Chains A and B, each alone.
Chain A
């Protein structure tokens, strides 16, 4: 039956332990022991992912039950320690409307354009000191996508790479473009990773209506003359709402 098997009984035993671990049937001490085993072995980590992925197909068996309405307020209080009071409900629905609008908008974007939206953290502070800009960076025909959030208070643009593969012998370069001005390089950025970029002070002052962030494909190390040479893989302007 087991012709061709390379596994020893012990390996098979470890496999089953990992399955029991993911299933959650082990006692506390055994669970902790297996967790340490997994932490030390990339093979067992792979196996852990296997079981998590396969067993998650059983998630359909969890019947949805709307949480009590007080739960959300409890979460906000725990996390942000700020008054949420009666405004929490209203701002919550505002933000939902906002995201629904966003979803509709992104369906209609052109090939290289993306929506860059201004959003205020209404749920929390009545008058936020800095503006938050949120951007979805995608382009049709490209599997590269980023999300970006610009914090006007710190002048920092944070990017999360969502998907995409690096292009051989090429780098992605991030640019900020102020209305009527040439693009300013913010540097070469990695694919599928998080990073923070602090904008130069003079650019921070200019970010607002009309600002465009863009990503282009450039030679390794970035555009040689500080001027974009490659195709734009994503770009879009700020929209205030």
Chain B
């Protein structure tokens, strides 16, 4: 029997109440996805498994913070997993990134008002990424899925780090406009 989003919501709710059987069911239904996240970002099986265990410890401890009106259960879990891995990566990277922090944000695009965030037709991010140049869209995806920071993205795409930051900032702004238009 397929597990639905509602089943996961049930498991989450019961986990928040300290129900260990529900926690086991939650694990059973989501471990593959979350292991996929830790493996993709940490790129080491041993580390990925270690991280997975730490992540589920957090899930047990923080299940009561899950808000069904803000995120689906799987989105919430993936966000926890992703952030956990990114924290690990950040901790081992050199902190000084040598970037000009006062980098100007280009002002050549329409800027929606705050209200637009919550209103109107929302485009799926894939459609909006399709409107970016291929390598710029790829940089956004790669940052999200592989957890690459600016230096790694710059190396991969063969551009200076400040260029990469300009790319990504512009891309994010265009994405925001697209997503809220």
List residues of chain A with CB under 8 Å of any chain B CB. 1-2, 4-7, 9, 12-13, 15-16, 19-20, 23-31, 43, 46-47, 49-50, 52-59, 61-68, 70-72, 74-75, 78-80, 91-92, 95-96, 98-100, 102-104, 119, 121-124, 132, 134, 136, 147-149, 158, 160, 162-163, 194
Contact = CB atoms under 8 A, between A and B. Distances in A.
Main DSSP-derived SS at the B contact region = helix
Contact of A62 (B20, B64, B96, B145): B145
Interface residues of B, number: 85
Interface string B42-71: 000100010011001100100010001111
Q: Please name the 10 residue pairs, one residue from A and one from B, whose CB atoms are nearest each other, closest first.
A: A95-B21, A64-B32, A67-B35, A5-B111, A19-B172, A149-B17, A56-B75, A67-B31, A24-B86, A147-B13
B82 interface: yes
Interface of B: 1, 7, 9-11, 13-14, 16-22, 24-25, 27-28, 31-37, 39-40, 45, 49, 52-53, 56-57, 60, 64, 68-71, 74-75, 78-79, 82-83, 86, 90-91, 93, 95-97, 101, 104-105, 107-114, 117, 122, 124-126, 140-141, 143-145, 147-150, 153, 168-169, 172-173, 175-176, 179
8 contacts: A1-B108, A24-B147, A25-B150, A25-B153, A67-B49, A119-B21, A136-B10, A149-B19
B49 A68 contact: yes
Contacts of A46: 114, 117
A59 B75 contact: yes
Contacts of B10: 99, 102-103, 136, 147
